[in-house]
Structure 1
């Protein structure tokens, strides 16, 4: 599918959704990206915008549960799936992880190559209650699984992190999954997340499918938890999750002071990670 066809399919889907959900309380569309997409499709702009369309649909399920579905279109959507974030205050972390995993599987199997936001909305409306009903068996079973008894810290390396949407997703997903750590945008990009293993794995599953020049887990730390003597909180090196910038410089302001990064890591007992990332000892 050519670039123009991608854009046409994206615009058609956005306009269909706007006709089905006319109220901003039901559907929010990022206005600048929508206007630029429309201008490109209609021929008043010569090239597509670097700003990717984003939308958020508010859903009331058949059982009265409120769910929101946020989608960001990659430039080659619908040849690839959109980036999705699901929020539902009534789901536990384990229930939420299961729901998102199953939704992504459904979209991969049923919708790849086709626009899929409306299909995702319908699936959430029909199936969210099933995950809420797993509270006794599914959630307890997952809590007893090995992944829920392991504290994990992932050190992620990316060739660069510039895109505002990706940076927003990294922050929101980490907080949603109750992970601590930090993200350093620029070139290179560094992300550290720490918390229960299941949450870290869900974070990595979301991040790695975004469009990257290069992204990888540079290093991981897994510590089995002894419930009687140790908690995940006692192993955290970071308070909350933040985007950290260290004296940005360069023509695009996209290079960080790595000396300040080394000091930041050292203060949190993570100095050894610097050499793993950059191949030299910090100072």
Structure 2
């Protein structure tokens, strides 16, 4: 994207944000996750800084039919030429309902004409459709006597993982589904999750429902009867970045060491197409 187009997009984003802030002015209704981002954008637009600004991450809290909804929104530099990343949270929704809601709002956003601000359209859509997804009756808890599921491990490859809200949601949902593993943000982005098969599948359904440039499950490992199949004892975000200008590219050497520490260095070739090189000592 050329600088002129980038500036135009950023000006539209700031204008839309100001409009939203005038509409949702009560404390806590709208929050920019990192206010410094707005300073970076304004400095870039008025040419007092030539550093590429961060992307806008904001949260909008809505009370719809006495139920609280959170919209987590990420505006890439290409917005409004591309759809914004939007993820909806609501504590009353079970996994299936949450997955369906996020799938439907994603499809709606992608159906809109590009080039125009559309966050308010997302808000209106949610206000009109939220009640369809809310579970009105008490959710029946799953039986504690159900057959124990075998574990599974998913290796996810993304073109990049920069968005703070996506990174936060990856962590939150891994916790919700009792999964272990890791997320390595940057370019490319790598995620590994392991746990019960249905939990891995439900987590993956939610995460891939968010707008991504490119994300896919590269390797699925099924339980093979080994007692030590599981490799991780928690889910964490790890940070291995090289010394590039913005520090956003993965340090594959450090990732290789991390995988080796968790007895899964064998996966390196499947992820990157080359054998890992580990230094001695």
Look up the match of 2:260.
263
Answer yes or no: is 1:244 the counterpart of 2:248: no
Select the structure that is richer in helix: 1
Moved more, 94-103 or 45-54: 45-54
Task: Classify the secondary structure of the residue corresponding to 2:232.
Answer: coil
* CA shift for structure 1 position 73: 0.5
TM-score, length of structure 1 as denominator length: 0.73
In structure 1, C-alpha distance between the alignment counterparts of 2:185 and 2:11, rounded to whole Å: 31
In structure 2, C-alpha distance between the alignment counterparts of 1:52 and 1:162, rounded to whole Å: 9
**Unpaired runs of at least 5, structure 2:** 143-148
Moved more, 44-53 or 14-23: 44-53
Specify whether residues 242 and 11 from structure 1 end up closer, same or farther in structure 2 by C-alpha distance, changes over 3 A only. Answer: same
**Unpaired runs of at least 5, structure 1:** 141-148, 224-229
Specify whether residues 176 and 85 from structure 1 end up closer, same or farther in structure 2 by C-alpha distance, changes over 3 A only. Answer: farther
**Cα deviation code 1:28-81 (max 9, x no counterpart):** 12311123333444x2535474311121111000x2000111111000101111
Look up the match of 1:97.
99
Cα pair 2:74 2:163 within 8 Å, conserved: no
Look up the match of 1:153.
153
In structure 2, C-alpha distance between the alignment counterparts of 1:236 and 1:116, rounded to whole Å: 43
Specify whether residues 9 and 189 from structure 1 end up closer, same or farther in structure 2 by C-alpha distance, changes over 3 A only. Answer: closer
**Cα deviation code 1:109-152 (max 9, x no counterpart):** 13533212111122222222211148799x99xxxxxxxx8965
Specify whether residues 50 and 222 from structure 1 end up closer, same or farther in structure 2 by C-alpha distance, changes over 3 A only. Answer: farther
How many corresponding residue pairs?
A: 255
Look up the match of 1:145.
none
Cα pair 1:150 1:197 within 8 Å, conserved: no
Mapping of residues 10-21 of structure 1, within 5 Å: 10-21=13-24
Task: Classify the secondary structure of the residue corresponding to 2:115.
Answer: coil
**Cα deviation code 1:165-220 (max 9, x no counterpart):** 654453344345554321234565421123331321332343xx4346xx543212
- RMSD (Å), alpha carbons: 3.6
Cα pair 1:193 1:200 within 8 Å, conserved: no
